[in-house]
Amino acid sequence: MRVGVLTGGGDCPGLNAVIRAVTKSLINHGQCEVLGIADGFEGLMLDPPGVKPLGWDEVSGILHVGGTILGTSTSNSANPLRDAATLEHVGRNVRALGLDVVVAIGGDGTMSLAHGLAEQVGLTCVGVPKTIDNDIANCERSFGFDTAVATATEALRRIESTANSHHRVMIVETMGRHAGWLALEAGIAGAADVILLPEIDYDLQAIVDFCRGREQRQRYTIICIGEGAKESGASLTVRERIEQSPDPVRLGGVGHVLRERLQPHLRSEVRTTVLGHVQRGGDPTPFDRVLATQYGHHAAQLVLSGRFGRMVTLQGGEIGSVEISRVANTQRTVPLDHGLLTMARDIGICLGEPGKQDARPAAAGSH
Ligand code: F6P
């Protein structure tokens, strides 16, 4: 069997661990040839196609390395569905390369492209979910998320000491698109006082009241905000729009918007740090290395058993799979009844909800 492997969409820590596990599992089986496809689906859109054989040597020593040895792309140049001529060209390349199946490692955008290619040119794929956003349907943990949470948590802890010294309100903006998983888990792990998520539109007055309460006591406040969060009645903060891209809206900057809204109401100086791509880079945590290896191994098993058109999943702690069509164009956001939200409220974290500000009496206290 001839199997293509590609990484699509934004990169995340653990991609190389998947490439390694898929390739080693398929090679060990003895009857597979593995071809690495460059820069997501773009490699199949080139003439000649951007591919290279992957053997044991190519994938050795990359388990712990961030990024992807295959390259990836989020731009329209990697959208094989963009027009009929491109689709036809991709179909020709797939036939010329003799590809039986492609292991597509990516997020919901990549799964949508994989689904579209199966329908339109008959290219079957096996999907592996990746994203620091942890927002893929039917997958309770995507690899890369644990590393991003660790990075954002570390940043929050570093911000706290300087916030304390200067008695400031420090806003830390995380990535995560329209899902608040990253802000929520990093916020809890990094001891944020206020956590603002895309799933709960925030009430400015609730945050003002909460920060004023803390000005009387701890004299500094840490706010962790997901990039997709917004004030009640306001619209999303969009950094850039890229027409025809599989992911046309780029978020970012809501931390600055919140600073401008908050500052006039507070005595403390308000400052913003946008964490940005530092959350996507670096070596995967041990947890992500293991999870990515399990996902890669399971993807190879799907290939070897001919179960194409499926994406690897983690549900109820068990590795399994679902049809790619069931995850294409879907997102998994934080449910409003999630236990972590209830817990956060119970331990006094402000989620920006009206009428639920910190009610503790003014007194000296610790963070
Ligand atoms: O989906 C992963 C992610 O890092 C999001 O959290 C973020 O909004 C987006 O990608 C940023 O994409 P880009 O690197 O294309 O700006």
- What's the CA-to-centroid distance between 207 and ligand 1, angstroms? 27
Ligand 1 atom at shortest distance from the alpha carbon of 176: 6
Position 29 scores a pLDDT of 86
Separation CA 242–CA 269 (nearest Å): 35
The answer to whether the CB of 179 is under 6 A from ligand 1 is no
pLDDT bin (cut points 50, 70, 90) of residue 219 is confident
Considering just the CA atoms, what is the radius of gyration of the chain in Å?
Answer: 22
pLDDT bin (cut points 50, 70, 90) of residue 362 is very low
The answer to whether the CB of 177 is under 6 A from ligand 1 is yes
The answer to whether the CB of 332 is under 6 A from ligand 1 is no
145 C-beta neighbours (distance < 10 Å), count = 29
Ligand 1 atom at shortest distance from the alpha carbon of 177: 8
Residues known to be catalytic: 133
Position 246 scores a pLDDT of 65
Residues 6+ apart with CB under 8 A from 175: 132, 133, 148, 182, 226, 227, 251, 275, 276, 279, 280
pTM of the model: 0.94
The answer to whether the CB of 169 is under 6 A from ligand 1 is no
Of the candidates 3, 68, 8, the residue with the CA atom closest to the CA atom of residue 35 = 3
For the stretch 36-79, pLDDT in tens is 999 999 999 999 999 999 999 999 999 999 999 999 988 777 89
Separation CA 339–CA 348 (nearest Å): 14
Ligand 1 atom at shortest distance from the alpha carbon of 240: 16
Percentage of residues in the chain having pLDDT higher than 90: 87
**Higher pLDDT pick, 78 / 229:** 229
Mean pLDDT of 214-236: 95
Separation CA 26–CA 20 (nearest Å): 10
Residues 6+ apart with CB under 8 A from 60: 20
- What's the CA-to-centroid distance between 40 and ligand 1, angstroms? 15
The answer to whether the CB of 251 is under 6 A from ligand 1 is yes
**Burial of 1 (C-beta count, 10 Å sphere; 0-12/13-18/19+):** middle
> What's the chain's length in residues?
367
Position 357 scores a pLDDT of 55
Q: Give first-to-last CA distance, the chain, whole Å.
A: 58
